[in-house]
Amino acid sequence: MNARQLKQRLMLHLDPVLLAGLGGFMLVSLVLLYSASDGSWVRVLAQLGNIVVAFAAMWLVANMPLHWLMRIAVPMYVLGMILLLGVMTPLGVNSHGATRWLNIGVATIQPSELMKIAVPLMMAWYFEKNEASLKLRNYFIAAVLLVLPVGLIAKQPDLGTAILIAASGFYVLFLAGLSWRVMIGGAVAGLASAPFLWSALHDYQRHRILMLLDPSQDALGKGYHTIQGMIAVGSGGVLGKGYLNGTQTHLDFLPERTTDFIFAVWSEEFGLIGNLLLLGLYVFVIGRGFIITANASTYFTRLMAGSITLTFFTYAFVNMGMVSGILPVVGVPLPLISYGGTSMLTLMLGFGMLMSIHTHKKLVKS
């Protein structure tokens, strides 16, 4: 096997278009982290390590044949549920008032991250299995498969992850053809029961909800983040203050600036133009995801590809909305850019699946 053949073999199941988009994000992430950590290389190098690991994982998944994905769906979901329940036992690790991690002896893991992949996978698998005779009952069972892990995660509490998983599951339901009547009926019922639920809540529960909707009520806590984030974005203007020149970033005003609020750094330093470019990059990757979805060959792969693509968008939307002050601060990182290995890994596993779905179908055809 010569070098060219090797390269062909390695690239066989990768999608060059998607790969280019993802590479773009990695570049943005490293450049931005250097600024966000005040010119320190520590996080940049660590993130580089995360990227290498994530790409390797993506490559592995991309090379997995589709029936493998089908086969791992159930075990992965069951394992994820067991781990999630494990978090509620004394093995769960509490930090900053939330119990999200599980101590498995050698390390602590966050089962909810696994569920980001496992839940849509499981639901897509379920629909595929019952494709021939889909009834309302099947949608109901799929919804239960979704609600169980989401409930457990929301209870930890990890609202950000719970929302993302709920969204990914809802996309599967939607793409699987959940009837409009049920969706509209559900929405109407939800709205109608809201006043009753509200009056049934305790005062402190109401207070918490109001706090989430109006962060300025908690100007010393989460509201501080939002205020500083909005100042960073707004002061960036059209052209931005220039790379490494953001005052909000470099004078220590911006909290969480390498993680959840990294978008504020980008916005401050590169302005509206930069935001347009970044949105463009997201549109590029999401667009490619839609094309892959539209051409996917089986029911399972269509649902999975659609959910991965839409969830990726949701991720980005929730984070940017949160930083720019139109959504409450729920703790969702900017996908593929924020510092952190875990969310990068889960996202790239998703993209690996997209590539597998795309390339394995082509091979079948030829």
Q: Shortest approach of another protein to residue 299 CB, angstroms?
A: 8
The torsion region of residue 326 among left (phi > 0), alpha (psi -120 to 50) and beta comes to alpha
What gap in Å lies between CA 36 and CA 15, rounded to an integer?
A: 31
Q: Is 324 in the site for another protein (CB under 8 A)?
A: yes
What is the rounded end-to-end Cα distance, in angstroms, of the chain? 23
- Asked if 154 and 162 count as a contact pair (C-beta separation under 8 A), the reply is yes
- Asked if 150 and 198 count as a contact pair (C-beta separation under 8 A), the reply is no
Q: Is 252 in the site for another protein (CB under 8 A)?
A: yes
For another protein, give the closer residue by CB, 326 or 363. 326
Q: Is 231 in the site for another protein (CB under 8 A)?
A: yes
Q: Is 271 in the site for another protein (CB under 8 A)?
A: yes
Q: Out of 238, 243, 244, 245, point to the residue binding another protein (CB under 8 A).
A: 238
Site string for another protein, 156-185 (x = CB under 8 A): ---------------x--xx-x--------
Q: Shortest approach of another protein to residue 203 CB, angstroms?
A: 13
Q: Is 248 in the site for another protein (CB under 8 A)?
A: yes
Angle between helices 341-365 and 42-62 (to 10 degrees): 30
For another protein, give the closer residue by CB, 13 or 225. 225
Q: What are the distances in angstroms from CA 6 to CA 2, 9, 61?
A: 6, 5, 18
Region from 4-12, 85-93, 122-130, 272-280 binding another protein, contact rule CB under 8 A: 272-280
Q: Name, in order, each residue with C-beta under 8 angstroms of 308's C-beta and a sequence gap of 6 or more.
A: 120, 168, 289, 350, 351, 353, 354
What gap in Å lies between CA 332 and CA 154, rounded to an integer?
A: 14
Kindly state the DSSP code that residue 155 receives in the 8-state scheme: T
Q: Is 151 in the site for another protein (CB under 8 A)?
A: no
What gap in Å lies between CA 238 and CA 101, rounded to an integer?
A: 41
For another protein, give the closer residue by CB, 56 or 279. 279
Q: Is 90 in the site for another protein (CB under 8 A)?
A: no
Q: Is 247 in the site for another protein (CB under 8 A)?
A: yes
Q: Shortest approach of another protein to residue 135 CB, angstroms?
A: 15
Q: Is 302 in the site for another protein (CB under 8 A)?
A: yes
Kindly state the DSSP code that residue 216 receives in the 8-state scheme: G
Binding site for another protein (CB under 8 A): 94, 96-97, 171, 174-175, 177, 208, 218-221, 224, 227, 230-238, 247-248, 251-253, 267-268, 271-272, 275-276, 279, 283, 286, 290, 293-294, 299, 302, 306, 310, 313, 317, 320-321, 324-326
